[in-house]
């Protein structure tokens, strides 16, 4: 089982909380910066426009350069650096993430994260309480490809020793995660949600149905 990470297993949280965390680290008053919250809400979209070829997801240096420059368009130091250093600190696992991952592993199903990210994924997993919840975790920066490039899915398939036709990719983005279909990986797209439950129990239903057909 392959899982996307952001907006599939974890929510990015609120920009208000991100601002509070960043201001706390920089010893600033977040109430003085509430006017930037709408722009923080759109920072990922700004990055997609600025960097359509995902350089930010292949290199930590590129990630820092792009996000720091975008944040610097409407903030000043030390807030700019504080916001970048806490970029993922408001993220949290959906309430159904860990129960579903635990249920899959109890059934002996290998669970693997495949994420377009150039940050320390293991550190983020620990912070959101998922440090021991998956068997493998791969990033685009480690593999040298970004979704939807078929090569990233083939690289993960080879690394975990499971053929594409025996895998299921679960994600939220029909373009990026849907790229798995190009190499024969069945794909389940769960649309993004703003609530604490992402509907990941659907995955267990797919597994149960597949097992029933095979029996």
Give the domain ranges of the chain: 2-11+91-214, 15-85
Phi, psi of 188 (to 5 degrees): -120, 120
The domain 2-11+91-214 is placed in CATH, from the list 3.40.50.1000, 3.40.50.2000, 3.50.30.40, 3.20.20.70, at 3.40.50.1000
Q: Where are the alpha helices (DSSP H) in 51-191?
A: 60-72, 79-85, 97-106, 121-127, 140-143, 150-160
> What residues in the chain have per-residue pLDDT under 70?
212-215
Give the sheet arrangement for strand 2-3, strand by strand. Answer: 136-139, 112-115, 2-3, 168-171, 186-189
pLDDT, position 215: 61
Q: Is 105 exposed, middle or buried (0-12, 13-18, 19+ CB in 10 A)?
A: middle
Phi, psi of 58 (to 5 degrees): -110, -15
* pLDDT value of position 65: 97
pTM of the prediction?
A: 0.95
Instruction: Check residue 197 and give its pLDDT.
Output: 92
pLDDT in tens, 23-55: 999 999 999 999 999 999 999 999 999 999 999
């Amino acid at each position: 089982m392959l899982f996307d990470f952001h907006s599939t297993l974890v929510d990015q949280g609120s920009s208000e909380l991100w601002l509070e965390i960043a201001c706390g680290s920089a010893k600033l008053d977040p109430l003085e910066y509430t006017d930037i919250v709408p722009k923080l809400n759109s920072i990922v979209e700004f990055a997609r426009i600025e960097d359509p070829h995902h350089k930010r997801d292949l290199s930590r240096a590129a990630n820092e350069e792009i996000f720091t420059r975008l944040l610097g368009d409407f903030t000043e130091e030390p807030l700019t650096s504080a916001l970048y250093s806490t970029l993922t600190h408001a993220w949290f696992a959906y309430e159904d993430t860990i129960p579903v991952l635990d249920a899959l592993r109890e059934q002996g199903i290998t669970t693997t994260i495949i994420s377009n990210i150039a940050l320390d994924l293991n550190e983020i997993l620990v912070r959101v309480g998922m440090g021991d919840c998956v068997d493998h975790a791969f990033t685009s920066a480690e593999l040298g490809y970004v979704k939807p490039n078929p090569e990233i899915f083939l690289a993960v398939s080879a690394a975990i020793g499971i053929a594409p036709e025996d895998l299921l990719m679960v994600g939220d983005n029909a373009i990026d995660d849907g790229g798995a279909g190009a190499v024969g990986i069945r794909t389940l797209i769960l649309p993004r949600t703003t609530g604490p439950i992402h509907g990941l129990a659907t995955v267990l239903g797919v597994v149960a149905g597949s097992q029933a057909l095979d029996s």
